[in-house]
Amino acid sequence: MSSEPIAEWCEPAAVWRACRGGVEYTWEALRQQASVAFAVNRRGRPLSIGRAVRCHILAPFATVHWLLVRMFGRCFRMFKSSLPRRCVLFLAIVSVGVVAAPARWHASAAESSSSPTVVDANALARSVTVYRDEWGVPHIVGPTDESVVFGFGYCQAEDYFWQLEDSFILGIGRYAEVHGSRGLKKDLLNRAFEVPRRSQEDFKKQPAEAQRICAAFVAGINHYLAHHPEVQPRMIRHFEPWHVMALGRSIILEMGFSHTGVGPELPVAFDRLEAAVGSNAWAIAPEKTKNGHPLLLINPHQPYYGFGQFYEGHLISGEGWNFSGATFFGSPVPTLGHNEYAGWSFTVNQPNTSDAWIEVFDDPEHPLNYRYGDGYRTAIEWQDTIRVKRGKKLKEETYTFRKTHRGPIVKKLDDKRQISVRIGKFYEAFLVPQNMKMVRVKNLDEFRQAMAMLKLHIFNTAYADREGNIMYYYNGVVPRRNLGYDYEKPLDGTDPKTDWIGGYHTFDELPQVLNPPSGFIQTCNASPFTTTDDGNPFLGDFPEYMCRDRHIDNGRAKISRMILRDLEQATFDQWQQLAFDTRIYWAMTELPVYARKFERLKKTNPKLAKKVEPYLEHLLNWDCICRPDDTQTQLCQAWHEELYGFGYPRGARRSACRWRSRGG
């Protein structure tokens, strides 16, 4: 696999202008326009990227990568120190959305073998080329989907193997082997859901194409290890395709288990990811932009550490992929980003994807029997061995697990009562087939069809495309339930009516907004029913249990609506600037109220008013823009924390709870 820098480069502004022009370029025409020999490496030899084809230039989305990188840049610069200093400046290819269409690759073991998980790593390595832009982001070009996914796995290993392996160790339920007792709770939850065993079995049932993608991805990781003996894994020396499925299921547990209503003391640590819950995504319609094209803002807030951090890449396949985006380490295909036709982003939402039940085991003669209606059902019990790092040694510890017809037991309340949990489509949904379909979408209908697969458990979705459509979609795997029960807390397991009644709410049954009259959508971890000004879904049209965040309207959502409703004739440069808007909505709306109350305070309690006056006057002489060096920002933050609590997002959540308790 080659990774050779290009000798020359063009002035980036020329590329952005070309992108916005909405014209067609051949590869050769683009090369001449940009005055750079894209197809020549530093030794003057042609790069092996195949014949060029004509491609449509998508005005906003060819340039969304620029904003994506600008927004993510700080997150990804941490990797830069581990990259070669002479990186390829290949951003122009991203900018114009050129699709390379090389000749078909033949003579691969992956194609000739009867098993989709058998690949010829050397053949794949020879077929793929990796370029790196000035941020170190890989742009991976290959003749087949498998080849670029192979390169994507190789690059993830090259850039941050420690995190890649750590995520997979978490996925296969062996976290305690490297992290000791602090990883034990994660393994207990993982084994309670039988993630390793079921993943090995269920992976074999996946479509052959999905199996090949996963096999090529881990082959890229293994190829990196084979050629870099200086990199010593802590545990996994050979990655297997089913590991991808196991990791996906562990991520569901990490991100979704806290919403079961069981309690925070359960064996799952959400701390690192929770600190990053606060993503933003916007889209505006063509009528709000100067050039008549929609604009999309992709602004996920990801942590610097842990499985939740993002890895960015650009995958260009001769079989049709031309997708630039980001995903978690260990994922073979980017999950959010854009191709030359459409783009989308995700923010965390709170669909009710899971439930908990209090099961009553009160049959002394049959300890595994639990009460169900007028009779009993029998639980299944098994043992599993978990190795735990204790000091410098590994100790094997045996644990007993139990599951009901609903799901695994995760907590014991007393001698008779235990809590079981079920997560929607936990075993049925595998994201890779849906991702493979999403990165190929060319229009809204294809995107809707891909999302309708419901392989992605959560996430608000903001979408826009070159045809001028913008859409918000409240994605979630939401089971159908009987009404009349409180699904925010553990249910009475003895009542059969608390069971799910079969199936899941379809794509069309979930909240969404398509091309609203207001001309914009925003999703900032808030209610789907306040997505825009005109055209929101109506809360009463959906079952109460569907959206746990139905009443949340945080400050980021409010200021986003304020920004977007007033936006007219927007340019791409202006769009970038708005992404870094630091006005504080709470200060803008609440300080005038405090000013009026202060006038009354001066009459009713002059002594107290005199103490308050210098602080309030200081805030009132402020434009409510957050800056790193002004004292008003610090004072406002301290005041807000006194009122609503410390920390984010916990303080924001408490604020939302207070708002709801006041009947808001």
Considering only CA atoms, give the Rg of the chain: 27
Q: What percent of the chain has pLDDT over 90?
A: 73
pLDDT on residue 647: 59
Query: DSSP for 60-97?
Result: HHHHHHHHHHHHHHHHHGGGGGGS-SS----HHHHHHT
End-to-end CA distance of the chain: 58
Beta carbons within 10 angstroms of residue 609's beta carbon? 16
pLDDT on residue 258: 72
Report d(CA 256, CA 424) in Å as an integer: 10
Beta carbons within 10 angstroms of residue 92's beta carbon? 24
pLDDT on residue 72: 36
pLDDT on residue 69: 36
Q: Are strands 295-299 and 310-317 parallel, antiparallel or unpaired?
A: unpaired
Judged on CB neighbours under 10 Å (0-12, 13-18, 19+), 125 is buried
Q: Is the peptide bond before 649 cis (omega within 30 degrees of 0)?
A: yes
102, amino acid identity: P
Which position has the token pair 């803008």?
588
Q: In 113-227, where does DSSP find H-type helix? A: 121-127, 145-171, 176-179, 184-192, 195-203, 208-227
Strand ranges, E, within 516-646: 520-523
pLDDT on residue 114: 67
Closest by CA to 194, choosing from 480, 30, 409, is 409
Which residue ranges of the chain lie beneath pLDDT 70? 1-114, 263-277, 647-664
pLDDT on residue 648: 53
CA distances (Å), origin 624, targets 116, 161, 634: 58, 43, 11
pLDDT on residue 304: 86
pLDDT on residue 273: 41
Token pair, residue 188, equals 């207990």
- Report the DSSP beta bridge partners of residue 289: 570
Q: Whats the size of the chain, residue-wise?
A: 664
Q: Which helix (H) or strand (E) holds 343?
A: strand 342-347
233, amino acid identity: P
Report d(CA 498, CA 482) in Å as an integer: 7
pTM score, whole prediction: 0.81
Alpha-carbon 492 to chain mean position = 33
